[in-house]
């Protein structure tokens, strides 16, 4: 496998993690507009609980999927470090807690070197 192919896979995996995080936060913050819409349209009380449970369950599932995403570079859990009982985690991390690859990984150094040679 070439390094270009490997870099594309890593970038695609990191993009997937970013999309999952965006969906997780989007579902979390969707609560406020949904709440105000239910107040504006005077939703019946019996319907509020199922809608709230649907919102909560969908957020919980997305949060679990996002939290247990694997790093495309080292294949360990991206937001969790450690094994068994010595586990630490940070769902707000901007880099893999195991290998340190940033979530917004770009080949910055390679691009800078190319630009130096052009100028």
73 neighbors 48 (Cβ within 8 angstroms): no
Scanning the structure block, which residue is given the tokens 């195991």? Answer: 98
What's the predicted TM-score (pTM) here?
Answer: 0.75
Locate the domains of the chain by residue range.
3-118
- Tens of pLDDT, residue by residue over 54-87, are 999 999 999 999 999 999 999 999 999 987 777 8
Residues of the chain below pLDDT 50 = 1, 110-111, 113-119
pLDDT value at residue 119: 47
Instruction: Map 73-101 to HEC letters.
Output: CCCCECCEEEECCEEEECCCCCECCCCCC
Instruction: Map 46-63 to HEC letters.
Output: HHHHHHHHHHHHHHHHHH
C-alpha–C-alpha distance, residues 38 and 29, integer Å: 15
Half-sphere exposure of 17 (CA within 13 A, CB side): 27
């Amino acid at each position: 496998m070439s390094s270009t192919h490997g870099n594309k896979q890593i970038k695609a995996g990191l993009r997937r993690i970013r999309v999952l995080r965006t969906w997780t936060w989007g579902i979390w913050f969707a609560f406020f507009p949904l709440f105000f819409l239910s107040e504006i349209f005077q939703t019946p009380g019996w319907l509020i609980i199922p809608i709230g449970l649907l919102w909560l369950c969908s957020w919980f599932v997305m949060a679990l999927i996002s939290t247990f995403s694997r790093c495309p570079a080292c294949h360990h859990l991206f937001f969790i470090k450690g094994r068994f009982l010595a586990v630490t985690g940070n769902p707000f991390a901007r880099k893999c807690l195991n290998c340190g690859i940033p979530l917004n990984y770009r080949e910055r150094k390679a691009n800078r070197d190319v630009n130096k040679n052009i100028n």
